[in-house]
Amino acid sequence: MKQVLQYRRSGATRVVEVPAPLTPEAGLLVQNQWSLISPGTERMLVEAGGGNLLNTARQRPDLVRQVLDKAARDGIAATVEAVRNRLDVAIPLGYSCAGTTLDVGPRARGAFEIGDRVACAGAGLANHAEIVAVPRNLAVRVPDSVSLDDAAFVTVGAIALQGVRVADARLGEACVVIGLGLVGQLTVQLLKAAGCRVFGIDVAADKVQLAQAQGADVACLRADPDLLEKVRAFSVGRGADAILITAASSTSDPIQIAPGLARDRAVVVAVGMVGMDVPRNAYYEKELQLRLSRSYGPGRYDRTYEEEGVDYPPGYVRWTEQRNMEAFLDLVAAGTVRPSRLVTHRIPIARAKHAYQIVTGETAEPYLGILLEYPRLPTTEAPTRTRVDLRAASRPLPTSGTVRLGVVGAGSFARSVLLPALQKLEHVELRGVATASSPSAHQTATRFGFGFAATDWHAVVEDASIDAVLVATRHDLHARLAAAALRGGKSVFLEKPMALSPEELEDVLEAWRSSGRVLQVGFNRRFAPTYRRLRAWFASRRMPLVMSYRVNAGAVAPSSWVVDPVQGGGRLIGEVCHMVDVLVDLTGSEARTVYAQSIGAGSARDDVLLTLRFRDGSVGTIVYASGGDRSLPKEQLEVLGDGRSAVLDDFRWLRLHAAGKLTRVGGRLAVQDKGHAAELSAFLDAVRHGRVSPVDPEVAAHVTRVTFAGVESARTGLPVQV
């Protein structure tokens, strides 16, 4: 299918052939007929892409500090790769569209049916694309009397409507709208529909004239020297009851002129993205209320509402995102709001680049509402292919030849660490990549040279030309995908964790035992050069070891999928497994008991202390903390036993002590190597030559069971037998 993408590094906007998305479980698949370009938001996105890095540094000194901190912590090479990874992305443009439902997920059935005319919202979802996949709470049925081109305004209309609700504008009140772009013009119409008197302000004369045509009682230019007097006269000398700022501006001028236009104790609502340098005294002296309107209503940025489709009860939250969208379309159906009056261009999707040239001013012509139009194809002919081939498959090769690798999942870690490492290795062909996101699949395939891009993981797992599959998805899919690939005759490199439950773990093991293929879990630290030197230091020991592993992990947002019990499983299962694996590998022994104490509760256990007792008598502690200062190196491992000691600092340098002597390996400025390239090389070597896995799956399974026991111990406060 065709989709409009903006490439951050180059700033180019292109119409690209990408794989179509899959139907969300709690959503629907929609064949677009129209999508609306939001002039303010999308202009800023396009202009920001490909921008001068020096200018970006001036505008965002906080990002500069983050880059410098990372360079000091992780090294120049890792930092350059991370920055490149952030820049080498294709951003899907658009967030408001309308079309026909092609398919409905199981958790959206009843709310929607195939063939429904629907309007959709959501950045990264309701894009400029022939096919979009949208969660159920970000889609609404379109009334019969509303055309789909009018319905494509639904997101911008809901943004304007939410601003009016936040302003609490009431019948007969005098309201000022600053910024008469698309949102501003719709705000004028909505305020008039609510029985308010409206005064519009803009920097452009044509927008002022249009606002008057939309029903504004008065409208004038921002540069008008009599602006304050006109607002005073409009409000019968009292000042405006509410001021809605719908401008898109980097300056704080709208915020700063508002007090002069407002009455005592009036409301000022920032709807658009404007500077927020607020003149305190001016707001204080009139006791003005400054409010921010958050997008299109309650539910925005709540993953449970937006992605999982869990609604808020109307008795508690009357106007959610979805209900605002419905209300806007009802007003359009009644003829109270008329989006069609704001349309200046209707452009086919194939010529979308021209549309953005108009928006950015590269092509000089007046514009406001720009609609992208899509081919009117029967639903049976909709471009729903979930795989796009970029080059032909190679001829079959013998086992000892090149490994043809498929990848499922291409998030930040895969793009910045695993895939760059694979590119540098020999005897591997990157055959295909599958991700849930159409733009991500296409961009990843293009950047790293994959043969095809897909949005359906079956395209990788069931491809006969693929020998091995690398699984790097979110944690909840790890076990399912690994088991499917093994049963399909593929070797599997499975990023940690191996599974999120004992049942999943047993399924993976059963699939591996019956497959005769290589299964390697991504416990990379055991492949790090400094760790291998440490391990060799204690290879001839006769006594148990005492081990202490401290991790200055840093916090993650409570809303992150990593700590979600369903998707991520929490950090103890998802991340502490690395440290457990190191201690298990170092002792060559299984853990017998686990005792865990944590500060947090539930899946938010970011601070945990684990004590492990091993069958060979060794003991180890793992301190995994999120509250430390980032200037402290992330990881330190201390090992003592058999008359020897060792300290490993952040996989950069190693201190070995024995017989009163100190041996140093590496140094504080050494390049950090956590073993990612070595583990991938070992996996490919095992696949090519039919060798056993470099990481015994039975050992990896034991490590996983230890983390399960840790979760149980943290919950009960008691030691748990493994």
At 588, which helix (H) or strand (E)? none
The answer to whether 638 touches 645, Cβ cutoff 8 Å, is yes
pLDDT digits (tens, 9 = 90+) for 608-658: 999 999 999 999 999 999 999 988 999 999 999 999 999 999 999 999 999
Structure confidence at residue 398 (pLDDT): 43
The yes-or-no verdict on residue 171 having pLDDT over 60 is: yes
- The verdict on residue 169 lying in a domain is yes
Structure confidence at residue 353 (pLDDT): 95
Q: How many domains does the chain have?
A: 4
556 and 702 in a common domain:
yes
Distances (CA, A) of 612 to 160, 543, 557, 617, 620: 57, 17, 28, 10, 5
The yes-or-no verdict on residue 570 having pLDDT over 80 is: yes
The yes-or-no verdict on residue 226 having pLDDT over 70 is: yes
254 and 147 in a common domain:
no
Structure confidence at residue 571 (pLDDT): 94
Q: Who has greater pLDDT, 623 or 75?
A: 623
The CA distance from 136 to 615, in Å, is: 52
Please give the distance of CA 690 from its chain centroid, rounded to a whole number: 38
The CA distance from 220 to 199, in Å, is: 8
**What Rg, from alpha-carbon coordinates, does the chain have?**
29
426 and 349 in a common domain:
no
Q: Where are the beta strands (DSSP E) in 214-297?
A: 218-221, 240-245, 262-270, 289-292
> If you average pLDDT over residues 354-377, what whole number do you get?
93
Q: Taken in order 187, 193, 195, 198, is the CA torsion positive or negative?
A: positive
Structure confidence at residue 65 (pLDDT): 65
CATH number of the domain residue 710 falls in: 3.30.360.10
Distances (CA, A) of 425 to 396, 398, 676, 680, 721: 20, 18, 12, 9, 41
The CA distance from 546 to 463, in Å, is: 48
- The verdict on residue 228 lying in a domain is yes
259 and 231 in a common domain:
yes
Q: How confident is the model at residue 378 (pLDDT cuts 50, 70, 90)?
A: confident
The answer to whether 287 touches 264, Cβ cutoff 8 Å, is yes
CATH number of the domain residue 104 falls in: 3.90.180.10
pLDDT digits (tens, 9 = 90+) for 255-293: 999 999 999 999 999 999 999 999 999 999 999 999 999
What's the CA angle centered on 129, arms 125 and 133, to 5 degrees?
40
pLDDT digits (tens, 9 = 90+) for 339-349: 999 999 999 99
Q: What residues contact 413, with CB distance under 8 A and at least 6 apart?
A: 472, 495
Q: How confident is the model at residue 76 (pLDDT cuts 50, 70, 90)?
A: low
Pairing of strands 387-389, 452-454: antiparallel
CATH number of the domain residue 260 falls in: 3.40.50.720
The yes-or-no verdict on residue 299 having pLDDT over 70 is: yes
Work out the end-to-end distance of the chain between its first and last CA atoms, rounded to an integer number of angstroms: 50
395 and 377 in a common domain:
no
Structure confidence at residue 603 (pLDDT): 47
pLDDT digits (tens, 9 = 90+) for 133-151: 999 999 999 999 999 999 9
Q: Looking at the DSSP assignment, which residues form a beta bridge with residue 118?
A: 99, 141
Domain that holds residue 172: 157-292
The CA distance from 442 to 702, in Å, is: 37
Final residue of a structural domain among 236, 264, 292:
292
Structure confidence at residue 279 (pLDDT): 97
692 and 593 in a common domain:
yes
- The verdict on residue 297 lying in a domain is no
Place of tokens 């590269």: 362
Q: How confident is the model at residue 306 (pLDDT cuts 50, 70, 90)?
A: very high
Closest CA to 467 of 439, 441, 424, 428: 428
Structure confidence at residue 382 (pLDDT): 83
Closest CA to 124 of 306, 383, 322: 306
DSSP secondary structure string for all residues of 463-492: -TT--EEEE-S-GGGHHHHHHHHHHTT-EE
171 and 283 in a common domain:
yes
Count, residues in the chain: 722
The yes-or-no verdict on residue 391 having pLDDT over 90 is: no
> If you average pLDDT over residues 683-700, what whole number do you get?
97
Tokens in use for 459? 């395209």
> If you average pLDDT over residues 383-396, what whole number do you get?
78
The yes-or-no verdict on residue 162 having pLDDT over 80 is: yes
Q: How confident is the model at residue 397 (pLDDT cuts 50, 70, 90)?
A: very low
644 and 611 in a common domain:
yes
> If you average pLDDT over residues 514-518, what whole number do you get?
97
- H helices of 147-302, in order, are 148-151, 154-167, 182-193, 205-213, 227-234, 253-261, 280-285
594 and 562 in a common domain:
yes
> If you average pLDDT over residues 40-61, what whole number do you get?
64
> If you average pLDDT over residues 221-226, what whole number do you get?
97
The yes-or-no verdict on residue 112 having pLDDT over 70 is: yes
Amino acid letter for position 390: L
Residue-averaged pLDDT of the chain: 93
Indicate yes or no: pTM above 0.85: yes
Q: How confident is the model at residue 667 (pLDDT cuts 50, 70, 90)?
A: confident
Other beta carbons within 10 angstroms of residue 172's beta carbon come to 10
CA dihedral of residues 156, 159, 163, 166 (deg, nearest 10): 160
DSSP secondary structure string for all residues of 637-671: EEEEETTEEEEEETTTEEEEEETTEEEEEE-TTSP
228 and 325 in a common domain:
no
- The verdict on residue 72 lying in a domain is yes
- The verdict on residue 495 lying in a domain is yes
Final residue of a structural domain among 350, 381, 412:
381
181 and 329 in a common domain:
no
Other beta carbons within 10 angstroms of residue 492's beta carbon come to 31
531 and 600 in a common domain:
yes
Final residue of a structural domain among 360, 381, 402:
381
- The verdict on residue 298 lying in a domain is no
Give the DSSP letter of residue 24.
Answer: P
The CA distance from 513 to 635, in Å, is: 34
